[in-house]
Structure 1
Amino acid sequence: MTPDESTPRRGRLTVYLGAAPGVGKTYAMLDEAHRRLSRGTDVVVGLVESHGRLATAAQLEGLEVLPRRVLVHRDSEFTELDVEAVLARSPQVVMVDELAHTNVPGSRHAKRWQDVHDLLDAGIDVVTTVNVQHLESLNDDVEAITGVKQRETVPDHVVRDADQIQLVDLPPEALRRRLAHGNVYRAEQIDASLTQYFRVGNLTALRELALLWLADRVDDALASYRRDHSISSPWPARERVVVAVTGGPEGDTLLRRGARIAQRAAGSELVAVHVLATDGLPSAPPARIAEQRRLVESLGGTFHTVVGEDVASGVVDFARGVNATMIVVGVSRRSRWREALRESNGTEIARLAGVIDVHLVTHERARSGRALPGRGSALSGPRRLGGWVAALVGPVLLTLVLSAMRDVVSLPTELMLFLALTVLVALIGGLWPAIVSAVIGFVLLNWFFTIPTGHLTIAEPENALALTVFVLVAAGVASVVDLAARRTAEAFRARAEASALAAASRSVLSGEDTAAALVARLRETFTLEAVALLARRGSSWDVLAADGNDPAVTPDGAQAVLVVDDDRVLALTGRVLPASDRRVLEAFASQLGVVLEHDRLRAQAEQARILGEADATRTALLAAVSHDLRTPLATIRASVDGLGLDLSESDRAVLVGTLADSTARLERLIDNLLDLSRLQTGSVRPVLRATSLEEVVPFAVEGYPLVVLDVPEDLPLVLTDPGLLERVLANLVSNAVRHAPAGRPVVVSAAVVGRGIVVRVVDDGPGIPDELKGHMFDAFQRLGDTTGNGLGLGLAVAEGLATAVGAEVAAEDTPGGGLTMLVTVPLAAS
C-alpha cells in the first residue's frame, strides 16, 4: 500500500478574511461555491448566515443547503452546523460561514473552528469566512480602536495555517455607502452604526490591521517556500534594511539613515545587527550596544546580535537570512594607509553582498584614523616583562661570553646558541620579544662574529645565507611557540568554561540551584562587581535576585545587559567583558531561564496540587453532606411532624428525645464542617496560655455517660488554647464512644511524659488495621465505619486543631484490641 493510500487525505481550508463586517465575505464565498459547482465539483452549503441581506440570500439559489442541527438552550431554540450531517453527506467542498462563532451548549464542540477541523480531518475541503477583529492576537488592538470588545475569537494559527486566504476589502467610504443603502444592517441600526463602529477612522485602522496581518502571513509563506526549495539568494519582495552597527559613535548616524530609507516604502522593516566576531578582537562596550538597541526600538526596528568568524561575513550572512534588500554600513574609521594594508569592513561587505544593495554612509569620524585592535596576549604581565628583558639583555650577555671563547667556537655554533636564546625568549615572553631578540642577535652576529668583524658587511655569501636562515628560523620558531602558548591558554579557558557550564547545567537539571544561587555563581565565575536579575514591571524594573556590591537596579545602570527572556534581563556591573566571555554569559542566561521556567512550573504544579486537594475536598464534602446532613434533618422533620399528632406522653417523650439526639448530631456535624473550613482557610488563631487540664477534659467528655476519667488533680499546667484543645478531645472521645462495644466504657487518662502531658483516649473497639493508619487523619475517611453517623471529619479536625495549638496527635493499638489516641500537650513554663 502506498503512503497516499494508507494516509487519509486532509481537506484544504480556504478563508475569506474581511477587514470589517459588511465587506462581502459571505457573498464572495457563495460566489466561489457557484464557480466550483459549474466546474462539476460536489459542493454543499453547511451553514450560511445571510443576516437578512437579500443579495446574500439570492446567492443560495441553485446550491444544496444541508439542514441545520436544532438545539434547545434556556427554553429557546437555536440552530448550528450539523457536523454529522455533513460527514454523512461527504461532499467534496462545504461552505461554512463565521469561523469564530461560539456554538450553543450541547454542540459537538465549543467553537465552530473545531467543527471545521473535524471536516478537514475527514478529507472534506472547507471554505469559510472570518473578520479581522475576531483574530485572537488582534483582539486588544481592535478594542482600543473601536471601543468594542469582541467576545468571539479564533486562534491565529487556525487562519494562518489555511491553504488559501482571500482578503475581502472595501474602501471605508464605499462600505459606509453600502451601509447607508441598507445592504448591511436594518434601517433602525444604520445611524448608530455609522456614528459608532463604522466611522472612517475605525474602518481605515481595521483595514490596515487586516493588510498588515495578511502581509506577515505572506512573508512567512515566502520564507517557507525559499527554505523548502533551498533558495539562499534574497528575493526583494519587501524592503528590508539591515544596518550594521559596531558599537562605535557613528552607529546612531547609521541607524537614523537606515530608518529614513525604510520609511520611503510602506511596510518596510528596519533591522540592526551587531556581530560578535570570533577572531579574538575585543568587542564594543556593552553599554554602548545597549544604547543603540534602545535607539533602534524607538525607531520602530529590531536589534539582533549574532556570532560570526568576522564582521563582514557575519553581516552578509545575517542579511541573506532575513531576506534583506539593502545593507547600510558606515565608512571605515581607519586611515587610508591602514586600509591599504587591510580591507575595510564596508568594502568587504560590498564584495560579499552579491545582489543585496550596500549603502555606504559617511560620518564625522570617517577616515579619522584609529589604532588597529590588538590581539590580547595569552601570557601574564610578568612573563611579558621577563621576555622583553631577556630579549634586550640576553643577546648582549651571550655576545660577551662568546667573545671570550672566540678561539673555541665557530660561527655555526654561535648561530645555534643565538637561535637557542631566541627560542628561550619566545618561551618566556612570546612572539614580539623573540622577534626583537632575533634582530638584535642578527646585528651582533654580523658585527662581532662574521668576517669582516667590526663591520655590518658580510664577505662570504655562505655566512649571509646562514644569518638570513637564522632570522627566518628564529621568527618561525617564535611564532610556533607563541601560537602554542595561545592555544594552551584557549584550551585551559575552554575547559574552565565547559566545567562552569557543566556544573551549572547539573545543578539546574537536578533542581538544586535557585535563581539567586546561579546569579552568585555567575558573579564569582567572571569576577564581576555585581550581578542582578531584573524583571520588567510596566515602565520600571524589579530585582528578583542580586549578588555583589551595589548591583544595578535598571538595565541603564549596568555595563552589560543579557536578555534572559522577554521580561527578564541580567544586569552586569564591573569589568568590560570580551566577546569570548559573552558566549558563556549567554549560556548562563539560558540556564537561568531554565531555572526560572522550572520555578514557574513548580509553582503551577503546587497550585494545581492545592486546587486538586480543594476540589477533592469539595467533591467529598458534597457527597457526604448530601447524605449525612440529610439524615438528621429528615429525623428532625419527622419528629416535629409527629409532635403535631395526638400522641401519648410516652410517645411524645420518645419523639422529643429523638429530636434532641438528631439536633445534637447535626450540631456536631456542622461544628466539624466549620472547623475544617477554618483550618483550610488558615483562620484559626489560637490564644495560648497556661491552662490546667481540669478546665478542659471534663467539658470534652460532657454528655458521654460511659466515659471513665483518670486525670490526677496535681498535674502541672500546659501551654495551650483551652477552647481548641477541648474540641480536639471532644472529637477523639466522640470517635471512641462511637466505635466502643455496647456497654464498654471509654477511658480518658493523663500523665506527665518528658516535657509534656499525654492524654490517652482508650476504647476496646475493632481498632484500625495498620495499612489504614496512614490515612486516618485525612478528611472524609471513615475507615470501614458503616454506621452513617458522621462525615469522617472528627480525626481530621482533631489533628488540625492540635497542630494549631502546638500539640501532637498519634494512634496506637489498645492491648487486647481497640484503639488508643494520644494527645501530647507541651508543659507551660514554670
Structure 2
Amino acid sequence: MGRRGRLTVYLGAAPGVGKTYAMLSEAARRRDRGTDVVVGLVETHDRVRTAAMLEGLEVLPRRVVEHLGARFEEMDTDAVLQRRPEVVLVDELAHTNLPGGRHEKRAGDVAELLAAGIDVVTTVNIQHLESLNDEVLRITGVRQRETVPDEVVRTADQIQLVDMPPEALRRRMAHGNIYRPERIDASLTSFFRVGNLTALRELALLWLADRVDDALGDYRRAHDIEQSWPTKERIVVAVTGGTESETLLRRGARLAQRAAGAELMAVNVIASDGLAGVPESRLGRVQQLVVSLGGSFHTVSGEDVASAVVDFAQGANATMVVVGVSRHGRLRRLVAGTTGDRIAAAAGAIDVHLVTHGQVSGSARRRPLAVLSPLSRRRQATGLVLALLLPALITPGLRAFQDTDQLPLAEMALLAGTVVVALVGGLLPALLAAVVSFLALNWFFTPPFGTFTIAEPPNLLSLLVYVAVAVGVATVVDRASRRAGDAVRARTEAAAMSSLSRSVLTGQDTAEAITQRVREVFAQRSVALLVRTPSGWEGVAASGDDPPGAPGEADTQVAVDDDRVLALRGAPLRAEDRRVLEGFALQTSLVLEYRRLREREERAAALEGAEATSTALLRAVSHDLRTPLATMRAAVDGLVGGGTALAGSDRSELLAALGDSTDQLESLIDNLLDLSRLQTGLLRPVLRERSLEEVLPLAVAGHPPGAVRLELAEDAPLLCTDTGFLERVVANLVANAVRVSDGTPVQVMVHDEPDTVTVLVVDRGPGVPRDRRAHMFEPFQRLSDGSPGGLGLGLAVSQGLATALGGTLEAEDTPGGGLTMVLTLPRRGVA
C-alpha cells in the first residue's frame, strides 16, 4: 500500500482574514525549496494581491460544468491525478460540487487525492464546520449552507489558524480588499459586525485548542505518560450523590469559570463489589446539575474511592480535584483517615481543593442507634431476648456435668449462643450476649464460684480472650449478614431494572408498558403515569383497576421529572423498594425522552425524504416538462404564424407534434399526481371480478404493429382487481419494454396459479445490472436507455399501484438477454 498524502488546512477565523493568501505564500516557499507544487483550484475573488501570488505557480485547467443553462468551473480531479504533483492547492474545502461529479463535496475530491499519495493544502473558514453550524446561526443570524464534517479537518496532519483582530478586518473591508464596493456597507453592518467577528474568533481559538488537546492526549497515551500535564484547566469534582454534592459542584463550577476554556468533570465511584449504593434518583439530580453547569458526568468502579478518583483525574489530565470534607466523626477520622486526605496523598502534581459543607460530622452525631442495624425492630428485639435467655438456658445444662474443669466447654457453648444471637438480632444484641456470657462464666465457672472475683490469672486471661473473640465473631457475623442482605437487595434491584431495560430493548417502551411493568414488579393494585397540564393532572397511561387521577389520590408517588409523576395504589412500599422505584422513575424519564427524540427523528426523516423528493421533482420538472411545452409552443407558433400559407403536410405535421406533446405532458402530469396520491395514501383500488381478456388487450394497445405479442389463453383467468390500476401497470411496463427492445417484439404472458395470477412482460433489450435493480423502482430513477421525455416515475408508480392491488412487482433476467418484469397478483384482491 502506497504512502498516504498529508493534509494541511489553513483555518480562517472569518472571511477575508487572508487564509488563501497564506496558503499561496506557503506554496511559493515550497516551490522555492524545489517541491513540485501545482494549483488545483484557487478562488481569488478578484482580490489583486491574492491573484498576484499565483504568478510563478503552475495552475491546472478547471473542468467546465453546465448546470441549469449556465456554465460553471470545478476542480478537475482527474487532471490532478494524471499530473501527480507532490503538493496540490485546493481552495474552499467545504464547497459543494455541482451535479455530475464523482463526489458531492470537494472534501471527497481531497480525500481521493490524499489516498493517491498527493499532499493537499486547503482552506476553510470556522463557520463552515458542521458542529458549529447552529452556533454560527445564533451569533450571526446567517445559516451556512455549505459545511464540512469536523472530522475531516480534525484529522488533518497540520492546521494553521489564520486570524486577525476584528477592527483590522473591518478596515480591510472598508478599503475594498475583501468585497466589491457595492457590498462593503451591507457587509460591515451585518455579518462583519465587531461582535460577530469577536465571537467567530473565539470559536476558532477554542475549536483549535480542543484539536491541540486531542493531539496532546494521543501523545501522552502513545508514550505511556501517566502524570498530569497542566496544559488546560480541568477540574474534577468527586461526588457521592449526597446533598453535599451540589455544594461541591457549584464550587467547582466557580473555579472553572475563573479560567477561560476550563472543563468541569464530575466523577462518582461505584463499589466494585456490585452492591447497592446511592439511589439512582439522587445521582440523576446530580447529573442534571452537572449538565446545567456545563460539565460532564462520569462513573467509575473501584474498591478504594480515593485511588479511583486519583486514577480518573490522572487519566483526564486534570489540574485540580475538588472533594468534600469528611462527614464522619472525629474518632473515625482519627482511626481510619479521610478520603480527602488519601486523595491529597496520592494526587501528586494535581491540586486538591477541600470544601466544607453543611453535612460535616453532623449526620454521624444525629444518627439514632436504630440505623446501626439494617434489621427490623422485631428481629432486634428477638435478639435482645435471646441474649438474656440463651445464657440462662445454657448455664444450668453445663452445671449438670460433674467435671472439675467446665470453663473451656462453657466458653465454647456460650460463644455458640452469641453467634446465634448475632445471626438473629445483629451486632447490639450480640454484644449484650457477650457481656452476659462473660458474667455467667465468671459467676458459675471461675473459682471462687458464686462471686465475680477471679482467683487465678489464667482464668482472667481466658475470659478476656473469650470476650474479644465473642465481639469479633459477632461483628463478622453481623457484617456478613448485612452484606448478604445488601447482595439480595442489589440482585432484586438489578433484576427489576433489567426487566425494564429488556422492555426498552425489545421495543416495549410505551408508557402503557412502563406502568404495566411497575405494577407487576411492585405488586400494586394500579399504577398511573400522570402529566402536569395548565388545567391539572392528566393520565398518560395506566395499568390496573381504578388508577389514581392525581398524585394526592395515590398511596405512593415518585417524580419522573418536573412534569410527570408515577402514582401507585396498593400496599405501602419498603424503603428498599422505594429506592428501586426511584430508579424506575429515572429510567422512565430516559425512556420517554428517548421516545420523544425517536419520534422527532422519524418526523425529521419524513421531512428530509419529502424535501429530497421535492428537490428531485423540481430538478426533473425543470427539464422534462420544458421539452413537451417547448414543442407545443413551437407548433402553436407555426400554426398561428403560417396561417393559410402552410402546406397541408406541414400543417398535419405540426398538429401531430402538438398532439404528441400534449399526450406526453398529460402522461407526465398523471404520473406525478399518481405518485403524490400513492405517497399520501389517497389512491385506493375499487375491486371487481374481471377477466384478463378484458384488461390486457387494452393495456398493450397503441404500439406499432408487431411491437407487442400478447399470449393469452381463451380461458383467461378471473381475478378480483381494479381494472384501471392493472391496465396502468401493464401499460407502463410494456411501454418501457418497447422503448428498449430495438424492434424485437415484446412478449406479454400470463401464468395461472391456484391463488395468484402472474403477468410477465419480457423484452430482449440491454437489461438492467443487478446492482441497479434495488433503486430502479425509486422515484426519478432513469434506466440506461437514456430516453427523453420521462421523469423516471413510471416504475415507481407501477410498483405503488401493484402494492395497492395486494401484489408485487419484481425484475428478473430474461434467458438469452433482456429483462422480464414479473407482476404477481392475488386472485381475491386485497384483504
Superposition TM-score, scaled by structure 1 size: 0.68
After superposition, the C-alpha distances for 1:736-791 in whole angstroms (9 at most, x for unaligned) are 998999997999999xxxxxxxxxxxxxxx99645595465xxxx557899xxxx9
Q: How does 1:573-612 map to 2 (within 5 A)?
A: none
Q: How does 1:142-157 map to 2 (within 5 A)?
A: 142-157=136-151
1:255 touches 1:296 (CA, 8 Å); kept in 2?
Answer: yes
Task: Report sequence identity in percent.
Answer: 56
C-alpha spacing 1:671/1:110, structure 2 compared with 1 (3 Å) = closer
After superposition, the C-alpha distances for 1:579-610 in whole angstroms (9 at most, x for unaligned) are 996999799789969996998899799989x9
Deviation, 1:231, is 2.2
1:329 touches 1:346 (CA, 8 Å); kept in 2?
Answer: yes
1:531 touches 1:551 (CA, 8 Å); kept in 2?
Answer: no
Partners of 1:410 and 1:680 lie apart in 2 by 96
1:280 touches 1:580 (CA, 8 Å); kept in 2?
Answer: no
After superposition, the C-alpha distances for 1:343-398 in whole angstroms (9 at most, x for unaligned) are 23322322232211112233455454624989986766654443332112211232
Tell me what 2:25 maps to.
31
Deviation, 1:72, is 2.5
Deviation, 1:232, is 2.2
- SS of the residue corresponding to residue 187 of structure 2 reads helix
Deviation, 1:33, is 1.1
Tell me what 1:205 maps to.
199
Partners of 1:13 and 1:248 lie apart in 2 by 50
1:21 aligns with 2:15: yes
Partners of 1:288 and 1:45 lie apart in 2 by 60
Structure 2 residue corresponding to 1:436, chosen from 432, 435, 448: 432
Deviation, 1:291, is 4.8
Structure 2 residue corresponding to 1:450, chosen from 433, 446, 449: 446
Q: How does 1:534-613 map to 2 (within 5 A)?
A: none
Structure 2, unmatched stretches of 5+, are 626-646, 649-665, 700-709, 721-747, 765-793, 808-824
Structure 1 residue corresponding to 2:322, chosen from 319, 328, 334: 328
Deviation, 1:17, is 0.4
Tell me what 1:169 maps to.
163
Tell me what 2:635 maps to.
none
Structure 1, unmatched stretches of 5+, are 1-6, 627-644, 647-666, 687-723, 751-765, 804-819
The AA in structure 1 aligned to 2:224 is S
C-alpha spacing 1:276/1:527, structure 2 compared with 1 (3 Å) = farther
Tell me what 1:122 maps to.
116
After superposition, the C-alpha distances for 1:180-222 in whole angstroms (9 at most, x for unaligned) are 2221122222222222221111111111111122122222222
Structure 2 residue corresponding to 1:315, chosen from 309, 320, 339: 309
Deviation, 1:79, is 1.8
C-alpha spacing 1:773/1:283, structure 2 compared with 1 (3 Å) = closer
Q: How does 1:177-326 map to 2 (within 5 A)?
A: 177-277=171-271, 283=277, 289-326=283-320
Q: How does 1:309-708 map to 2 (within 5 A)?
A: 309-363=303-357, 366-368=360-362, 370-371=364-365, 382-403=378-399, 410-482=406-478, 484-486=480-482, 488-489=484-485, 492=488, 516-517=512-513, 520-521=516-517, 524-525=520-521, 681-683=680-682
Tell me what 1:98 maps to.
92
Q: Report the structure number with the largest CA radius of gyration.
A: 1
1:137 aligns with 2:97: no
The AA in structure 2 aligned to 1:386 is T
Deviation, 1:116, is 0.3
Partners of 1:105 and 1:195 lie apart in 2 by 35
- SS of the residue corresponding to residue 370 of structure 1 reads helix
After superposition, the C-alpha distances for 1:383-414 in whole angstroms (9 at most, x for unaligned) are 44433321122112323444566678833332
Partners of 1:227 and 1:89 lie apart in 2 by 40
Partners of 1:75 and 1:799 lie apart in 2 by 39
Partners of 1:463 and 1:452 lie apart in 2 by 11
Partners of 1:601 and 1:63 lie apart in 2 by 51
1:160 touches 1:217 (CA, 8 Å); kept in 2?
Answer: yes
Partners of 2:308 and 2:420 lie apart in 1 by 39
C-alpha spacing 1:17/1:386, structure 2 compared with 1 (3 Å) = same
C-alpha spacing 1:186/1:673, structure 2 compared with 1 (3 Å) = closer
Tell me what 2:694 maps to.
734
Partners of 1:797 and 1:529 lie apart in 2 by 51
C-alpha root-mean-square deviation of aligned residues, in Å? Answer: 5.7
Segment drifting more, 304-313 vs 507-516: 507-516
Partners of 1:49 and 1:82 lie apart in 2 by 14
Partners of 1:322 and 1:493 lie apart in 2 by 34
Superposition TM-score, scaled by structure 2 size: 0.68
C-alpha spacing 1:532/1:577, structure 2 compared with 1 (3 Å) = farther
Partners of 1:207 and 1:427 lie apart in 2 by 69
Partners of 2:17 and 2:471 lie apart in 1 by 80
C-alpha spacing 1:142/1:536, structure 2 compared with 1 (3 Å) = farther
Partners of 2:292 and 2:670 lie apart in 1 by 63
C-alpha spacing 1:503/1:274, structure 2 compared with 1 (3 Å) = closer
2:398 touches 2:406 (CA, 8 Å); kept in 1?
Answer: no
- SS of the residue corresponding to residue 270 of structure 1 reads strand
Tell me what 1:700 maps to.
none
Partners of 1:43 and 1:392 lie apart in 2 by 98
Partners of 1:368 and 1:749 lie apart in 2 by 86
The AA in structure 2 aligned to 1:390 is L
C-alpha spacing 1:771/1:164, structure 2 compared with 1 (3 Å) = farther
Partners of 2:182 and 2:598 lie apart in 1 by 56
After superposition, the C-alpha distances for 1:626-684 in whole angstroms (9 at most, x for unaligned) are 9xxxxxxxxxxxxxxxxxx99xxxxxxxxxxxxxxxxxxxx99x999999987875447
